[in-house]
Amino acid sequence: MWTRIEGGGVGAPGPLGFLGALVLLLLSPAFSGGLWGPGASDRDRSGSLLRSLSQKGVLAAQEVRYSGSLSYSSGRYFFEETTRSFTFGSTFSMGFGSLELSVNVPIVVQNGGLVSLVGGIPVPTGGDQSEVVGRQQSGRNQGSQGGGQGGGGQSVIDPLLLTSSVEESTDIVFRDSYSAKVADPFFQGSLTVYEGFGVVRSLGVRLGIKPPIVGLDSGVGTGEWDLGAGSTVVLGVGDNLIFGDLGFWRYGDIQGLKLTDGFSYAGGFSRSLLGNRASMMVTLAGAQALIPSSESPLSAALGLGYFLGSGRMINVSIAAGLSETSPDWSVTLGWSLGRG
Scanning 54-168, the segments in alpha helix (DSSP H) are 130-145
Quickly count helices (H) and strands (E) in the chain: 4, 16
Q: Could you give all domains of the chain from N- to C-terminal order, each with its CATH number? A: 3-337 (2.40.160.40)
Out of 31-35, 137-141, 229-233, 300-304, least confident range: 31-35
Q: How far apart are CA 293 and CA 274, in angstroms?
A: 46
Angstrom distance (rounded) from CA 122 to CA 115: 6
Query: What's the angle, vertex CA 293, arms to CA 225 and CA 118, rounded to 5?
Result: 20
In a 3-state reduction of DSSP, which class is residue 225? coil
Query: What is the Cβ-side half-sphere exposure of residue 203, based on CA atoms within 13 angstroms?
Result: 5
What's the pLDDT tens digit per position in 50-105? Answer: 444 444 444 445 678 899 999 999 998 888 888 899 999 999 999 888 999 999 99
Residue 137: pLDDT over 90: no
DSSP H or E run through 50: helix 42-53
DSSP category for residue 296? P
Q: Which residue has the higher pLDDT, 136 or 29?
A: 136
**pLDDT exceeds cutoff 90 at 167:** no
pLDDT at 240: 87
User: Which segment of 19-28, 103-112, 152-161, 193-202 scores lowest on mean pLDDT?
Assistant: 152-161
Three-state DSSP class for 291? coil
* Full DSSP string of 60-111: -BTEEEEEEEEEEEEE-TTSSSPEEEEEEEEEEEEEETTEEEEEEEEEEEEE
Per-residue DSSP letters for 230-289? EEEEEEEETTEEEEEEEEEEEEPPBTTBPPPPEEEEEEEEEEEETTTTEEEEEEEEEE--
**What's the pTM?**
0.74
Whether residue 147 has pLDDT greater than 80: no
- Residue 31's pLDDT is what? 38
How high is the mean pLDDT of the chain?
76
